[in-house]
């Protein structure tokens, strides 16, 4: 493909991402499958351009006069990110072959305009309401947190399944396979790989044999904080893809009862092969939206893990496109859902048992505000101090800027009445 044709493809892919709900990665993959003439270098260059634009979307759109279409954003990226002179941009937009059409007068004017300093949310690369939330939560550090969240090249973390192997043995095994992993600094069972070149984890023997799973270090840490132990009755209330289920099962060392519930059957179905690969067991249960399906466990569980549905904003460094799909209204809907789910899950905890609330969100509306609402409605639960240097007031916040993990929040409670 010519450089021009790659730009056209990137613009087209950006439009598809904006119009749908699919992750950028999936849209790029589908495009590659539908356009077999594109070689690996072409696909790489196109993906680089797409991610460059997604991470700088606010700034590019602002510089292009508020336009949000792929063409305008790509043109803006050539100028603002690549620092390309106008003449070169014009040359790439000759309209010949499969390249993009010539610049309009308005586009040319935008590229030459003196734009001045952008507003704070534009500079941060995040929607306005998110920046407001960050200012409340992080105070002076908000811009640093925003930058960390939208920064490229998040590492790939693995959780070593200590039921099957130890960390050093897996590290050596991966090195044999050409993957140089480092121990994660915070999780004792984690290994970290650079994101470039993208490692094919699923193809490794260690993955196929269940010795590793892909799981961010932050996710490993919140799992460990829950304090699951052999012999306990543990409920993973929002089991989703089963990442936490596997971590909890590992901590329980095959002893006790682990029940993983979710309202989506397909998600539960996806957990089964992961459990088998890891050599651990859990009972999978389909729940009703109103909490039905766990009545037999009322007041019985030693530990209930609530990894609540959330904006996923803690993972925006991996999925920058999601930042532009989230609205303030959706955050409010999620907050209400989180408080409702916490109330349902709390019923299962036995006196003296524990409840942990976890999100992969960076927003106080889904973190502190949801925990506050739960505490106000449930005085029978007492916050438990967390054994982690990043925890304060029995609550933990992890983030790309502070712990070099995805963004996570956790609050731990004990049922004291
Ligand atoms: C953040 S995801 C869980 C991720 C999962 N724990 C993991 O580590 O892979 C939240 C999950 O909550 C589920 N969910 C949504 N509403 C629910 C409800 N009312 N009760 C239980 N689970 C619910 C969603 O289907 C989704 O799978």
Could you read off the pLDDT of 71-108 as tens digits, one per residue?
999 999 999 999 999 999 999 999 888 999 999 999 99
Cβ-based neighbours of 159, under 8 Å, separated by 6 or more: 187, 189, 190, 212, 213, 214, 215, 219, 220, 246, 247, 250
Token couple for 27: 């849209």
Lowest mean pLDDT among 186-190, 321-325, 329-333, 406-410: 321-325
| Pick from 25, 32, 29, 28: nearest CA to 13 | 28
Which domains occur in the chain, in start order? Answer: 3-118 (no CATH), 156-214 (3.30.70.1170), 226-415 (3.40.50.150)
**ipTM confidence score:** 0.98
Name the average pLDDT for the chain: 95
Does pLDDT of 390 surpass 80? no
Per-residue pLDDT averaged across 137-156, rounded?
92
Q: Which of 235, 237, 238 to mutate to test the pocket of ligand 1 (most atoms within 8 A of CB)?
A: 238
Q: Which ligand 1 atom is nearest residue 215's CA?
A: 8
Assess whether 360 carries a catalytic annotation. yes
Cβ atoms within 10 Å of 113's Cβ, excluding its own: 11
Residue 123: per-residue pLDDT: 86
Higher pLDDT, 352 or 125: 352
DSSP sequence for 263-281: S-HHHHHHHHHHHHHHT--
- CA–CA dist 149, 126 (Å, integer): 9
In the block, tokens 């609205």 appear at 327
Q: Which of 262, 335, 362 to mutate to test the pocket of ligand 1 (most atoms within 8 A of CB)?
A: 262
Per-residue pLDDT averaged across 377-397, rounded?
89
Per-residue pLDDT averaged across 135-163, rounded?
93
Phi then psi for 358, rounded to 5 degrees? -135, 140
- CA–CA dist 417, 414 (Å, integer): 9
Q: Please measure the distance between the N-terminal and C-terminal CA atoms of the chain and give it in whole angstroms.
A: 68
Pocket of ligand 1 (CB under 6 A): 237-244, 262-264, 267, 287, 289, 307, 309, 341
Does pLDDT of 375 surpass 80? yes
Residue 117: per-residue pLDDT: 84
Q: Tens digits of per-residue pLDDT, 284-341?
A: 999 998 889 999 999 999 999 999 999 999 999 999 999 989 999 999 999 999 999 9
């Amino acid at each position: 493909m010519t450089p021009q044709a790659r730009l056209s493809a990137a613009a087209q892919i950006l439009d598809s991402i904006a119009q749908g709900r699919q992750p950028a990665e999936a849209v790029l993959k589908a495009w590659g499958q539908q356009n077999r003439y594109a070689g690996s270098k072409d696909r790489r260059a196109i993906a680089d351009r797409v991610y460059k634009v997604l991470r700088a979307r606010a700034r590019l759109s602002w510089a292009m006069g508020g336009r949000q279409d792929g063409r305008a954003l790509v043109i803006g990226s050539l100028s603002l990110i690549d620092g390309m002179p106008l003449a070169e941009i014009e040359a790439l937009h000759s309209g010949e072959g499969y390249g993009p059409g010539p610049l309009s007068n308005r586009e040319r004017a935008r590229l030459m305009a003196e734009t001045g300093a952008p507003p704070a949310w534009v500079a941060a690369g995040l929607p306005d309401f998110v920046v407001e939330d960050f200012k409340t939560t992080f105070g002076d550090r908000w811009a640093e947190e925003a930058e960390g969240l939208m920064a490229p090249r998040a590492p790939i973390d693995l959780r070593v399944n200590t039921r099957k192997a130890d960390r050093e043995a897996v590290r050596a095994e991966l090195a044999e396979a050409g993957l140089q992993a480092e121990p994660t600094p915070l999780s004792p069972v984690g290994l970290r790989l650079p994101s470039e070149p993208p490692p094919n984890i699923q193809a490794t023997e260690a993955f196929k044999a269940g010795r590793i799973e892909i799981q961010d270090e932050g996710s490993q840490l919140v799992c460990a904080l829950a304090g699951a132990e052999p012999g306990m009755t543990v409920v993973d209330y929002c089991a989703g893809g089963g990442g936490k289920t596997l971590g909890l099962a590992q901590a329980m060392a095959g002893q006790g009862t682990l029940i993983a519930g979710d309202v989506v059957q397909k998600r539960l179905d996806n957990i089964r092969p992961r459990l088998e690969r890891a050599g651990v067991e859990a009972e999978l249960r389909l729940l009703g939206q109103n909490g039905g399906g766990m009545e037999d466990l009322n007041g019985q569980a030693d530990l209930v893990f609530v990894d609540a549905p959330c904006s996923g904003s803690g993972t925006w460094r991996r999925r920058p496109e999601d930042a532009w799909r989230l609205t303030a209204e959706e955050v409010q809907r999620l907050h209400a859902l989180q408080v409702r789910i916490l109330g349902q899950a709390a019923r299962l905890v036995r006196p003296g048992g524990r409840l942990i609330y976890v999100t992969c969100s960076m927003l106080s509306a889904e973190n502190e505000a949801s925990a506050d609402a739960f505490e106000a409605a449930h005085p029978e639960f007492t916050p438990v101090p967390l054994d982690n240097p990043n925890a304060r007031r029995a609550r933990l916040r992890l983030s790309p800027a502070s712990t070099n993990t995805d963004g996570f929040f956790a609050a731990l409670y004990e049922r004291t009445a």
